[in-house]
A and B are shown apart, each in its own frame.
Chain A
């Protein structure tokens, strides 16, 4: 064993010195660097994003119930070392002097908020200061809206239930404010210790009980997994992901993209390794043949090979992990200014993953050759005779392919995404082989038509070379195509993703909602819009109705297992009517009504709701509207983009259907900065109006999106490097052989120009074919990923396609020629000695 270790060490050193190992190690280090850097970075960003999301929840996790939180759940959290804080939310009247106002009361325990902070001011227009604590017992904090409505200021004493409490501060910002956006009245926050004395919570009171929890992700995951199955009726557990749909959708998309980027880096690095392993394997085989000549047994040789493989994998992994750590540190530092808080420290997981990946990748490359070597004699190996124990190309790449698949599944964290990537890769390889064969044969035929000039003859030599080395050229084209394809794919999806996010929340997106507008007040509200120059402030009617039956069958909440379906079946729908479909809606099936169909009992339903309640096109739905039955036929299904912050409806009818019922109206609009006073005036004129300010919430959502966009830019840059490494590896994979060929050509009398022309022609063909395949494949894949996985619209980018093709057709031959150029000036004799 000692002998094997020392032989492996010497062999590794000599391979390093000879240069055969350098490119392989370079690729391996790059692979591990990419895996660990993205691992470290995405892990830290994910934690930060989760914490950011946690700010909105007020903790990392929330157990929510319509009854008091069972002690068992609290005890479990405390015994596992989780930070806890209970909150109670309910509506109640708040009285100040003669005035009273319905408020959304939130009683919080000491320790609230577990994540994030609150902003308190001294008066309603105060920007305020950030605090991280709950109100003290005896004090309440009120939102500016409540303070304005009741005309109260800090220091006043108000009545909450049977208790008198003094106003300690104006609650300027409460990030953790969640719940149904249209359901809330202005906030009043108090200490939970004062709650019993208000006597507001009685048997049958509608209270939202919450247990907020915060701890490390591991502890949170553990608690989540343990608690979820034990929940009783009326209890649910929320983490950042299902707390807020708009955050969830952004988080999911970002995570999928980060997973995709990491996966792409792995694929690229492995392709680079496979390509660059050729010189290493060749030289290793020579040495092992000699060892066998000198009497080493097969098992010794295999042992040495195994130790050597582990050594290379281990040292490359160490270097890669170190570089990965430095790279992620740099990335985090760069991204740091964009994050409100610094990123949490990295864990050691990526280190082990990097190490395991390195060893797996190295063995995947070496294993087929070791297998083949078992039964070869020394002479066989010396003469590179492989016929005695044939090993097909498929078998040679099988272990690497398996490792690649495993890593794709692991990195993508999404079976659908991973499977589609693998299928695409296989199809890509098949397409490359097929297309390159056709194109090369075609080019050959073309050149066979008796070339008239010397240049054409030299180019023909290059194209002939392609056909001669078809196997190797194909491998190279696969390398180039993959490199180009993923670069293009990333550029396409990244652009789409960021554009889509930006478009979903433009700077003038609605930041205020007014609800409860009465028909007589519509003109007043419209005048307000006109005076304040508010554009796009539309007013929608709303009629409340309860769904009673579908196609004659009664609807009952008990017929569904799913909590959301139960909730939807129980609640009243806000039915609206419209002439035109809203611009952020998309018709999926059926058709929208024409003016002739106004007044007909038609209904357009939102697709998610339809899916959950099992509603299909043509279904007849019976609603109870203010005690009257109303039968509507589903004539279309719509997709609604809820991320836009505009008012939208699950169920819409043509005009004239709901006209006889009493409706109130809702409006969403963008209130420009400085128009608050006018807004307040409007509210004073129509005291029944409720204005909901979502500017702070939007600011947060926008902030998160911006950070994700930046993160994606950084991760993209990393994948880009890996892509370039593949291109480099594909170039050097056949470099030695090409130098040998170029040298012989020169011995036989070829001029340097002749060699250069044939070389450039060959690589231009490779570049063009690769670019062509990459463009087609990247666009198909981008279309699939955009439409099927990320749910964002796809746009073909002709400039990018043209640019990549141009770069490939020029840069690849240029780089190849630059690599060879140095050898064209060395006397042929010197090269002959070295080959």
Chain B
């Protein structure tokens, strides 16, 4: 089931992410494990991409390499045609602060911060003058205006993920990375979260890189890529396949 054009972002022809010969390997207990092999990938600005694959196929590793949370063993990642994976830790952090947003399967909210403070955190890092206003606005958009002073443990799983979505969009990122955003939620809540995520993505025109093992969710994206044995292949309609 592909989503309607109304639920899709406008794609420009500019490459926003480019991965070349991306390889990630490590040695564990004398075994040489290759997670990603010479992988090539181009993502256009505004594109919605789903990376699917079974558990342990390396989806999350690929996402962390694209987001600069880790560095590849070989190959390179470019963001907006600029070298990215070759930058040092702080260099990559600066790019992330400027243009990336994140949504995690386990929400990754800080338990000691309120919903509002969690959303404000990335804005404060950028010394944003209107951190509070923007965060309140984002929380209102995700329907949590009445829960801004609540702590994560006082919120349900779905509500926590909404806070995470608000946090991701509050910084108005160019690229949004979402790692199994519905993985910890029941189906109904997951559906609500997905609708919200795509709605906000369209409104903001953000490039979305979504990692999931859920074929239905993947089909909501404009492109689907399957990761298997460290190799990435373009997929047609997954449900039909």
- Answer whether residue B90 sits at the interface, using C-beta atoms and an 8 A cutoff: yes
- Would you give the 0/1 interface string for A377-388, flagging 1 where the beta carbon is closer than 8 Å to chain B? 000000111110
Tell me if B90 and A748 are in contact (CB < 8 A).
no
Q: Which of B48-56, B96-104, B139-147, B221-229 contacts A (4 or more CB under 8 A)?
A: B96-104
Tell me if B110 and A749 are in contact (CB < 8 A).
no
What residues on A are CB-neighbors of B70 within 8 Å?
A: 827-830
- Answer whether residue A564 sits at the interface, using C-beta atoms and an 8 A cutoff: no
Docked complex: A733-766 residues within 8 A CB-CB of B: 737, 740-741, 744-754
Q: A385-B153, A749-B93, A749-B94 are in contact. Are A832 and B125 (CB under 8 A)?
A: no
Closest to B120 in A: A464
Tell me if A744 and B153 are in contact (CB < 8 A).
no
- Answer whether residue A32 sits at the interface, using C-beta atoms and an 8 A cutoff: no
Q: How far is the CB of B225 from chain A (nearest CB, A)?
A: 20
Contact of B121 among A386, A469, A748 (CB under 8 A): A748
| Complex CA–CA separation, A387 to B153 (angstroms) | 9
Tell me if B127 and A472 are in contact (CB < 8 A).
no
What residues on B are CB-neighbors of A547 within 8 Å?
A: none
- Answer whether residue A468 sits at the interface, using C-beta atoms and an 8 A cutoff: yes
- Answer whether residue A457 sits at the interface, using C-beta atoms and an 8 A cutoff: yes
Contact of B122 among A384, A385, A457, A748 (CB under 8 A): A748
Tell me if A737 and B111 are in contact (CB < 8 A).
yes
Q: A749-B95, A749-B100 are in contact. Are A832 and B89 (CB under 8 A)?
A: no
| Complex CA–CA separation, A457 to B127 (angstroms) | 6
Q: A386-B153, A827-B69, A832-B104 are in contact. Are A749 and B122 (CB under 8 A)?
A: yes
- Answer whether residue A451 sits at the interface, using C-beta atoms and an 8 A cutoff: yes
| Complex CA–CA separation, A744 to B90 (angstroms) | 14
Q: How far is the CB of A332 from chain B (nearest CB, A)?
A: 47
Q: A383-B153, A385-B153, A825-B89 are in contact. Are A748 and B127 (CB under 8 A)?
A: no
Closest to B114 in A: A468
**Which residue, of A387, A740, A744, has the highest number of chain B Cβ atoms within 10 A?**
A744
Q: How many A-B Cβ pairs are below 8 Å?
A: 86
| Complex CA–CA separation, A61 to B37 (angstroms) | 89
Closest to B153 in A: A384
Tell me if B112 and A472 are in contact (CB < 8 A).
yes
Number of residues of chain A lying within 8 A (CB) of chain B: 36
What residues on A are CB-neighbors of B129 within 8 Å?
A: 450
| Complex CA–CA separation, A832 to B180 (angstroms) | 14
- Would you give the 0/1 interface string for B117-129, flagging 1 where the beta carbon is closer than 8 Å to chain A? 1000110111101
Tell me if A752 and B127 are in contact (CB < 8 A).
no
What residues on B are CB-neighbors of A386 within 8 Å?
A: 153
Tell me if B124 and A749 are in contact (CB < 8 A).
no
What residues on B are CB-neighbors of A829 within 8 Å?
A: 60-61, 64, 69-70
Contact of B90 among A387, A468, A747, A752 (CB under 8 A): A752
Q: A461-B125, A827-B69, A829-B70 are in contact. Are A752 and B112 (CB under 8 A)?
A: no
Docked complex: A690-741 residues within 8 A CB-CB of B: 737, 740-741
What residues on A are CB-neighbors of B124 within 8 Å?
A: 457, 460-461, 464
Q: How far is the CB of B84 from chain A (nearest CB, A)?
A: 13
What residues on A are CB-neighbors of B61 within 8 Å?
A: 829
What residues on A are CB-neighbors of B110 within 8 Å?
A: 737, 740-741, 744
Tell me if A749 and B126 are in contact (CB < 8 A).
yes
Q: How far is the CB of A454 from chain B (nearest CB, A)?
A: 7
Q: How far is the CB of B167 from chain A (nearest CB, A)?
A: 8
- Would you give the 0/1 interface string for A450-480, flagging 1 where the beta carbon is closer than 8 Å to chain B? 1100100100110010001100100000000
Tell me if B69 and A751 are in contact (CB < 8 A).
no
**Which residue, of A386, A457, A472, A750, has the highest number of chain B Cβ atoms within 10 A?**
A750
- Would you give the 0/1 interface string for A411-455, flagging 1 where the beta carbon is closer than 8 Å to chain B? 000000000000000000000000000000000000000110010
Contact of A752 among B89, B108, B122, B154 (CB under 8 A): B89
Q: A468-B117, A827-B70, A829-B70 are in contact. Are A748 and B96 (CB under 8 A)?
A: yes
| Complex CA–CA separation, A827 to B68 (angstroms) | 9
**Which residue, of A383, A746, A749, A830, has the highest number of chain B Cβ atoms within 10 A?**
A749
| Complex CA–CA separation, A29 to B95 (angstroms) | 47
- Would you give the 0/1 interface string for B52-75, flagging 1 where the beta carbon is closer than 8 Å to chain A? 000000001100100101110000
Q: A383-B153, A828-B69, A829-B69 are in contact. Are A750 and B93 (CB under 8 A)?
A: yes
What residues on A are CB-neighbors of B108 within 8 Å?
A: 744, 747, 832, 835
What residues on A are CB-neighbors of B60 within 8 Å?
A: 829
| Complex CA–CA separation, A634 to B111 (angstroms) | 71
Tell me if A737 and B125 are in contact (CB < 8 A).
no
Q: How far is the CB of A482 from chain B (nearest CB, A)?
A: 22
- Answer whether residue B113 sits at the interface, using C-beta atoms and an 8 A cutoff: yes
| Complex CA–CA separation, A468 to B113 (angstroms) | 6
Tell me if A745 and B153 are in contact (CB < 8 A).
no
| Complex CA–CA separation, A451 to B117 (angstroms) | 19
What residues on A are CB-neighbors of B64 within 8 Å?
A: 827-829, 832
What residues on B are CB-neighbors of A745 within 8 Å?
A: 121, 125
| Complex CA–CA separation, A596 to B186 (angstroms) | 100
Closest to B118 in A: A744
Tell me if A749 and B153 are in contact (CB < 8 A).
no
What residues on A are CB-neighbors of B89 within 8 Å?
A: 746, 751-752, 825
**Which residue, of B61, B69, B112, B129, has the highest number of chain A Cβ atoms within 10 A?**
B112
Q: A383-B153, A386-B153, A740-B110 are in contact. Are A747 and B96 (CB under 8 A)?
A: yes
Q: A745-B125, A750-B97 are in contact. Are A468 and B69 (CB under 8 A)?
A: no
Tell me if B94 and A751 are in contact (CB < 8 A).
yes
| Complex CA–CA separation, A750 to B126 (angstroms) | 8
Contact of A747 among B69, B71, B111 (CB under 8 A): B69
What residues on B are CB-neighbors of A751 within 8 Å?
A: 89-90, 93-94
**Which residue, of A385, A468, A469, A737, has the highest number of chain B Cβ atoms within 10 A?**
A468
Q: How far is the CB of A355 from chain B (nearest CB, A)?
A: 36
- Would you give the 0/1 interface string for B185-228, flagging 1 where the beta carbon is closer than 8 Å to chain A? 00000000000000000000000000000000000000000000
| Complex CA–CA separation, A450 to B60 (angstroms) | 39
Closest to A743 in B: B108
Closest to B168 in A: A748
| Complex CA–CA separation, A745 to B121 (angstroms) | 8
| Complex CA–CA separation, A469 to B117 (angstroms) | 11
Docked complex: B80-94 residues within 8 A CB-CB of A: 89-90, 93-94
Closest to B123 in A: A748
| Complex CA–CA separation, A746 to B129 (angstroms) | 20
Q: How far is the CB of A456 from chain B (nearest CB, A)?
A: 9
Closest to A740 in B: B110
Closest to B112 in A: A469
| Complex CA–CA separation, A351 to B143 (angstroms) | 61
Q: A737-B110, A744-B108, A828-B69 are in contact. Are A754 and B125 (CB under 8 A)?
A: yes
Closest to A754 in B: B125
Q: A749-B125, A830-B70 are in contact. Are A387 and B154 (CB under 8 A)?
A: yes
Q: How far is the CB of B80 from chain A (nearest CB, A)?
A: 15
Docked complex: B128-183 residues within 8 A CB-CB of A: 129, 153-154, 171
What residues on B are CB-neighbors of A387 within 8 Å?
A: 154
What residues on B are CB-neighbors of A450 within 8 Å?
A: 129
Q: How far is the CB of A279 from chain B (nearest CB, A)?
A: 13
Closest to B96 in A: A749
Docked complex: B9-67 residues within 8 A CB-CB of A: 60-61, 64, 67
| Complex CA–CA separation, A385 to B60 (angstroms) | 29
Q: Which 9 A-B pairs have the closest CB atoms?
A: A749-B97, A748-B122, A749-B96, A829-B64, A751-B90, A829-B69, A829-B70, A457-B127, A827-B70
Q: Told that A461-B124, A469-B112, A748-B125 touch, could you supply 12 new A-B pairs with CB distance under 8 A?
A: A384-B111, A384-B153, A454-B127, A464-B124, A468-B114, A744-B110, A746-B93, A747-B69, A748-B97, A751-B90, A827-B70, A828-B70
29 contacts between A and B (CB under 8 A): A383-B153, A384-B111, A451-B127, A468-B113, A737-B112, A744-B110, A747-B67, A747-B96, A747-B108, A748-B97, A748-B122, A749-B94, A749-B95, A749-B96, A749-B97, A750-B93, A750-B97, A750-B125, A751-B89, A751-B90, A751-B93, A752-B89, A752-B90, A827-B70, A828-B64, A829-B64, A832-B64, A832-B69, A832-B104
